[in-house]
Amino acid sequence: MVWIALVLLTLHQPAASQPVATEFDAGKPTVLITGANRGLGLEFSRHYAAGGWNVIASCRQPVMALELAALAGKFPRVRIEQLDVTSDQQVLALAEKYRGQPIDVLLNNAGIYGTLEKQTLGSFDYEELKRVFDVNTIGSLRVSEAFLDHVLASEQKKIISLGGGMGTQSIGRLFGGHYFIKMSKSAHLMAMGVLQKDMQKTGLIVTMISPGRVDTQLMRDSGWTGSSISAEESARLVIEQIDKIDATMSGRLILYNGKIIPW
């Protein structure tokens, strides 16, 4: 009976707090990637994992992220975390979970195109507009603000936001339609630009990178049928640019090939 009582007492004791990412190597840089379950996000996770980084790969439904799970099984310093960038609660909870963990590169990759028919003149769906903005614009800002201290505590201090090509006329000629994605990306550029200005005395580097026309679900949602590059190739080229970025590139918009784009 004494033994049973001891067992019951043990079961009712609060679990001892465990350090986050005990398999992380403190001597290696760390990257946090949003939307890591497919497309570019998955390829970023693969490249950084193969490069020996500590990888926090986040997505909305980890249980469905089978390729990401396989990657984590191969590389012990890949941690999969649930994160919906439209959820204040989830973003703040993940930031709290990783309190004290320096994050060298915060990669705002999560994004959606939105349903094309719902953002065509004559058939606008303003609920769809809110959805696209919440992911593409507010989501990146929400995550960036929540993880500011983590990035500032790192050596590299980089916040990288993907996209921008649809938000400026400088990359491609302006064409009709596609209102919501264009509006969200323009606002996204402004949000990241203002963040850079607010944080310019801290050493934080905020840069926007356009990954090109990449063969992903997002591109297919756009209706684009022209030439494209693979997600693997785009991720490799974008990471090369991230590695080169220094304080002189803060607040800039660049292409995956390093070309600086005025916006």
Residue 58's closest CA among 23, 96, 20, 90? Answer: 90
> Given this model, what pLDDT does residue 233 score?
87
Indicate the burial class of 187 (C-beta count within 10 angstroms; 0-12, 13-18, 19 or more): middle
Domains and CATH numbers, the chain: 27-261 (3.40.50.720)
What is the distance between the alpha carbons of residues 231 and 130, in angstroms, rounded to a whole number?
27
Q: Which pLDDT score, from 0 to 100, does residue 18 have?
A: 35
The larger pLDDT score, comparing residue 3 to residue 126, is at: 126
pLDDT tens per residue, range 195-245:
999 999 999 999 999 887 666 555 555 555 556 678 888 899 999 999 999
Q: What is the pLDDT of residues 93-126, one digit of tens each?
A: 999 999 999 999 999 999 998 898 999 999 999 9
What is the distance between the terminal CA atoms of the chain, rounded to a whole angstrom? 74
pTM, to two decimals: 0.85
Which residue's entry shows tokens 């614009």? 137
Provide the H-helix boundaries in 75-125: 88-97
pLDDT given for residue 10 in this prediction: 37
Nearest to 139 by CA among 117, 162, 172: 162
Q: To which H or E segment does residue 41 belong?
A: helix 39-50
From 18-22, 33-37, 100-104, 188-192, the region with the lowest mean pLDDT? 18-22
Is residue 168 very low, low, confident or very high in pLDDT (cuts 50, 70, 90)?
A: low
